[in-house]
């Protein structure tokens, strides 16, 4: 996932904000969604208005879900990092890790029939096996059971996960 040109100063932006920083964020948002979105038409719809309105907030929430980030519609440091650096900004997860991020991965893998265990946020043997199976099913991934940048990208593009994010964040 390539780096997208972003502003040097990345101040937090949220609903009702306006100005150049919002325009720059909308540009990065459109580029990143175009790269990872598999189920919506957002790359063609987020208008370059320089105003952070409802459409922009919904698109930010959708991207945050796709990227396994906290879904709050606010573009702070972590969301900016993902917008600009993509999956390279994500931590490497492997056996022994724990927390809500692991739980989100478990749920995505469960939605896609790779994981059959309990969604408990603990990266144990069942999660490692599911990650390896997911990696083996995706061209270009090494089935090592660790979630690094390439696996994050594929998880973000994973249809079962994308459809869940779309259903949870987009009202048509």
Domain ranges in the chain are 20-89, 100-169
CB burial of 119-138 (b: ≥16 within 10 Å; e: otherwise) equals bebbbbebbbbbbbbbbeee
Q: What is the pLDDT of residues 48-71, one digit of tens each?
A: 899 999 999 999 999 999 999 999
CB burial of 43-77 (b: ≥16 within 10 Å; e: otherwise) equals beebeeebbbeeebbbbbbbbbbbbbbebebbbee
Instruction: Check whether 118 has a pLDDT greater than 70.
Output: yes
- 40 pLDDT tier (thresholds 50, 70, 90): confident
pLDDT of residue 39: 81
Instruction: Check whether 171 has a pLDDT greater than 60.
Output: no
pLDDT of residue 91: 98
Does the domain at 100-169 match CATH 1.10.101? Answer given as yes
- Alpha-carbon gap, residue 154 to 12, rounded angstroms: 27
Report which of 115, 113, 157 is spatially closest to residue 139, judged by C-alpha positions: 157
Instruction: Check whether 172 has a pLDDT greater than 60.
Output: no
Residue 28 CA from chain centroid, whole number: 14
Q: What percent of the chain is predicted at pLDDT more than 90?
A: 79
């Amino acid at each position: 996932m390539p780096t997208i040109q972003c502003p040097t100063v990345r101040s937090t932006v949220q609903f009702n904000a306006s100005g150049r920083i919002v325009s720059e964020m909308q540009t990065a948002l459109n580029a990143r969604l175009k790269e990872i979105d598999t189920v919506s038409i957002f790359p063609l719809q987020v208008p370059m208005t320089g105003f952070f309105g409802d459409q922009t907030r919904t698109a930010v929430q959708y991207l945050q879900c796709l990227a396994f980030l906290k879904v709050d519609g606010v573009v702070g440091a972590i969301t900016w990092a993902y917008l600009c650096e993509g999956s390279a900004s994500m931590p490497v997860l492997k056996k022994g890790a724990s927390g809500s991020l692991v739980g989100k991965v478990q749920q995505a893998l469960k939605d896609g029939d790779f994981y059959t265990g309990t969604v408990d946020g603990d990266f144990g043997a069942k999660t490692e096996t599911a990650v390896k199976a997911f990696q083996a099913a995706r061209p270009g991934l090494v089935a090592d059971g660790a979630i690094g940048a390439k696996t994050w990208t594929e998880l973000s593009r994973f249809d079962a996960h994308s459809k869940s994010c779309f259903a949870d964040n987009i009202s048509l």
